[in-house]
């Protein structure tokens, strides 16, 4: 069994994990930086980068101690090399390079999105390629066909905001604080999802792309009108997001038949995949299409280092290691061939 040290630092979570190629999670540690960013209502890149500098080295040692291992026992060091907040990514990648060089171990530069995309295979050994992936996080909202490690075809992306961004902005508008997604979900449980009429952008459109900017503006107007209860806004917002995700996936499913072997499994990954309403709607969609459904456990949906270690293990098994001078990348699309979606502000 190969043992991979995984390091994650692309946003506001510093994380380290030791993952076996047999899917064993030997250790995983996570240190959020919520307190440092809370006064600003969102992640401040410079504060995040400095916090990673302070947190990562002792966190990696703690993970090694948890697993009862030393660096000598590790077969490769994997770190997020992008996309993300570049200062933080550089801190994690440079740390990985130093450890790899000092211990004479190979380095694996992991695409954070590939970490999310392959994380369901860490959770579920029976999940085979190809699968249809809804990748929903704070920075991305994409539908991808996953044919293998490093083999991604992007079928849809957002033309403006990501779904997680819409959750975070809704939380800010409703003054729920940061981080927003789980707070909106909790408040939505007590609200009426039909109380506030909100738009479903791009519903029924010919392309399978997403858009959430208009929904966010409608949430702002609903809040400013003063005529709705916050819990009703939260519930109505969440229901609108669910409708958009399901409609766009239906569109992608109706178009993916001509792409060779049809994926038999629907998979969801990324922080927004922790949302219970979204998970149940996706499961129902998969049932309607006679597809399997895989969603990683909640802790594996939001940013963590286990998924980076696992992506490292998948790459290591294929002999995919990287030179020590590899650069950190703020943008790094999983499918570089994908055409830019129309509209501005398209994320990698």
Minimum CB separation of residue 303 from Zn ion in Å reads 4
- Applying CB under 6 A, the residues found at the interface with ligand KG4 are 11, 137-139, 164, 167-168, 179-182, 185, 270-272, 274-275, 302-303
Minimum CB separation of residue 112 from Zn ion in Å reads 6
Only one of the segments 41-49, 301-309, 311-319, 335-343 lies at the binding site for Zn ion (rule: CB under 5 A); that segment is 301-309
Kindly tell me which of 303 and 314 has the beta carbon lying closer to Zn ion: 303
Q: Which does 180 bind (CB under 5 to 8 A by kind): ligand KG4, Zn ion, none?
A: ligand KG4
Tokens linked to 125: 């050994």
Kindly tell me which of 150 and 182 has the beta carbon lying closer to ligand KG4: 182
Minimum CB separation of residue 319 from Zn ion in Å reads 26
Rounded CA-CA distance 153/164 in Å is 22
C-alpha pair distances (Å), 237 with each of 176, 185, 209, 330: 14, 10, 19, 30
Rounded CA-CA distance 306/48 in Å is 20
Q: Which does 274 bind (CB under 5 to 8 A by kind): Zn ion, ligand KG4, none?
A: ligand KG4
- Which of 80, 95, 111, 137 contacts Zn ion by CB under 5 A? 137
Angle 230-255/276-288 helices, nearest 10 degrees?
Answer: 30
Kindly tell me which of 64 and 348 has the beta carbon lying closer to ligand KG4: 348
Please, how many CA atoms are within 13 Å of residue 75, restricted to the half-sphere of its CB?
A: 18
Only one of the segments 36-44, 172-180, 210-218, 296-304 lies at the binding site for Zn ion (rule: CB under 5 A); that segment is 296-304
The H or E element containing residue 183 is helix 180-188
Kindly tell me which of 222 and 301 has the beta carbon lying closer to ligand KG4: 301
3-state secondary structure of 15: strand
Best CA proximity match to 63, nearest among 19, 95, 110: 19
Minimum CB separation of residue 298 from ligand KG4 in Å reads 8
Kindly tell me which of 106 and 312 has the beta carbon lying closer to ligand KG4: 312
Best CA proximity match to 6, nearest among 105, 114, 14, 16: 16
Burial of 339 (0-12, 13-18, 19+ CB in 10 A): exposed
Q: Which does 185 bind (CB under 5 to 8 A by kind): Zn ion, ligand KG4, none?
A: ligand KG4
Minimum CB separation of residue 153 from ligand KG4 in Å reads 21
Rounded CA-CA distance 3/23 in Å is 10
Kindly tell me which of 168 and 303 has the beta carbon lying closer to Zn ion: 303
303 lies in the site for Zn ion, by CB under 5 A: yes
Please provide the distance, in angstroms rounded to a whole number, between the alpha carbons at the two ends of the chain.
34
Minimum CB separation of residue 336 from ligand KG4 in Å reads 19
Only one of the segments 60-68, 132-140, 169-177, 194-202 lies at the binding site for Zn ion (rule: CB under 5 A); that segment is 132-140
Kindly tell me which of 100 and 233 has the beta carbon lying closer to ligand KG4: 233
Minimum CB separation of residue 240 from ligand KG4 in Å reads 13
Angle at 125 between CA 119 and CA 126, to 5 degrees: 115
3-state secondary structure of 152: strand
- Strand 25-32, strand 76-82: pairing: unpaired
Q: Which residues bind Zn ion (CB under 5 A)?
A: 137, 303
């Amino acid at each position: 069994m190969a043992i991979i040290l995984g390091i994650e630092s692309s946003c506001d979570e510093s994380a380290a994990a030791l993952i076996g190629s047999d899917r064993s999670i030997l250790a995983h540690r996570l240190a959020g930086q919520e307190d440092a960013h809370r006064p600003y209502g969102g992640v401040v890149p410079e504060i995040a980068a400095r916090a990673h500098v302070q947190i990562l080295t002792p966190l990696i040692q703690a993970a090694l101690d948890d697993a009862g291992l030393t660096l000598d026992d590790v077969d490769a060091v994997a770190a997020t090399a992008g996309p993300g907040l570049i200062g933080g990514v550089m801190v994690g990648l440079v740390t990985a390079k130093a450890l790899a060089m000092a211990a004479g171990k190979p380095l694996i530069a992991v695409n954070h999105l590939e970490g999310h995309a392959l994380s369901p295979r860490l959770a579920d050994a029976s999940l085979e390629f190809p699968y249809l992936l809804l990748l929903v996080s704070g920075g991305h909202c994409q539908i991808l066909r996953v044919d293998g490690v490093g083999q991604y075809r992007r079928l849809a992306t957002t033309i403006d905001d990501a779904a997680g961004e819409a959750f975070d902005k809704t939380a800010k508008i409703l003054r729920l604080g940061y981080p927003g997604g789980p707070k909106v979900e909790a408040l939505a449980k007590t609200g009426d999802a039909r109380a506030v009429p909100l738009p479903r952008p791009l519903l029924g459109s010919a392309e399978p792309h997403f858009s959430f900017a208009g929904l966010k503006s409608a949430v702002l107007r609903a809040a400013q009108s003063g005529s709705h209860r916050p819990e009703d806004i939260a519930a109505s917002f969440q229901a609108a997001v669910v409708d958009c995700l399901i409609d766009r996936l239906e569109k992608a499913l109706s178009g993916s038949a001509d792409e060779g072997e049809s994926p038999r499994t629907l998979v969801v990954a990324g922080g927004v995949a922790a949302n219970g309403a979204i998970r149940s709607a996706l499961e129902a969609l998969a049932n309607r299409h006679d597809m399997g459904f895989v969603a990683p456990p909640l802790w594996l949906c939001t940013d963590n280092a286990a998924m980076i270690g696992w992506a490292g293990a998948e790459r290591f098994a294929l002999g995919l290691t990287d030179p020590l001078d590899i650069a950190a990348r703020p943008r790094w699309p999983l499918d570089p061939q994908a055409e830019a979606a129309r509209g501005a502000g398209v994320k990698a």
